Amino acid sequence: SSELTQDPAVSVALGQTVTITCQGPSLRNYFATWCQQKPGQAPIVVIFGNTNRPSGIPDRFSGSRSGSTASLTITGAQAEDEADYYCSSRDSSFSRVVFGGGTKVTVL
Amino acid sequence: QVQLVESGGGVVQPGRSLRLSCAASGFTFSSFAMHWVRQAPGKGLEWVSFTLYDGSNNYYADSVKGRFTISRDNSKNMLYLQMDSLGVEDTAVYYCVCSQSNWYTIGYWGQGALVTVSS
């Protein structure tokens, strides 16, 4: 079982805003990373360090953290944003990376 | 630009061994921790192992501890994963991943190498 908890699926109308959350005790003290994975492709990082967007990632992607919950927001979702999104961080006690179970985002 | 290219995947019988390699380029390989992450068919991402920037310490998921060995050659910009005593539960796409800013923050992913364990 994952130590980071995500909702399995969420849907959003084209052009609307959707927020995906990731909950876990380690997020209170350690940074969250968000990765996007489209079918048949390797994941890519869309947010790191809770709020930072890598170069080349559209600014409709944003991240935040409050307490033990990290969030990824897509403002004005596009059809190409339909994908699985995974959060990751480190374990609270041990030197290992932990992933959330992933959230499938469907753009209607 | 950062490139991570895995090789060595394939079909292997249960109980046998396989070695994955990852060729890194486009960044200072010797400065970053490196990870292996896998994804079983239709499943989510599972962290497997990581090695510190200089290879001085290695860490493993409980599911592979004692069977898998991570290593790196900073002179060749190469990362390896030696997988022994493979079981059907090890069937997955294995991704080479580099860190950024700290050891647990994921930076870039390779395209993945498929390992199928089947008799």
pLDDT, tens digit, 9 for 90 and up, residues A17-73:
999 999 999 999 999 999 999 999 999 999 999 999 999 999 999 999 999 999 999
Tokens read off for B100: 């950024």
Q: Taking CB atoms and an 8 Å cutoff, what residues of chain A touch B103?
A: 90, 95
Local confidence band at A93 (pLDDT 50, 70, 90 cut-offs): confident
Q: How far is A31 from chain B (nearest CA, A)?
A: 7
Please answer yes or no on whether B109 and A102 come within 8 Å at the CB atom: no
Please measure the distance between the N-terminal and C-terminal CA atoms of chain A and give it in whole angstroms.
Answer: 30
Please answer yes or no on whether A99 and B102 come within 8 Å at the CB atom: no
Report chain B residues touching chain A, CB-CB < 8 A. Answer: 35, 37, 44-47, 50, 57, 59, 61, 95, 100-112
The alpha carbon of residue B23 and the mean position of all alpha carbons in its chain are separated, in whole angstroms, by: 11
Q: Taking CB atoms and an 8 Å cutoff, what residues of chain A touch B92?
A: none
Residue position matching structure tokens 């390992």: B115
CB A105 within 8 A of CB A11: yes
Q: State the Cα–Cα distance between residues A27 and B46, nearest whole angstrom.
A: 18
Chain A CA closest to residue B110: A42
B7: left (phi over 0), alpha (psi -120 to 50) or beta: beta
CB B39 within 8 A of CB B113: no
CB atoms within 10 A of CB B40: 13
Local confidence band at A1 (pLDDT 50, 70, 90 cut-offs): very low
Structure confidence by residue, pLDDT tens digits, B16-50? 999 999 999 999 999 999 999 999 999 999 999 99
List chain B residues with pLDDT less than 50.
Answer: none
Tokens read off for A84: 């699985």
Q: Taking CB atoms and an 8 Å cutoff, what residues of chain A touch B105?
A: 31, 33, 48-49
Local confidence band at A76 (pLDDT 50, 70, 90 cut-offs): very high
Q: State the Cα–Cα distance between residues A47 and A87, nearest whole angstrom.
A: 9
CB atoms within 10 A of CB B36: 28
Q: What is the pLDDT of residue A40?
A: 95
CB B96 within 8 A of CB B110: yes
Please answer yes or no on whether B110 and A99 come within 8 Å at the CB atom: no
Q: How far is B111 from chain A (nearest CA, A)?
A: 5
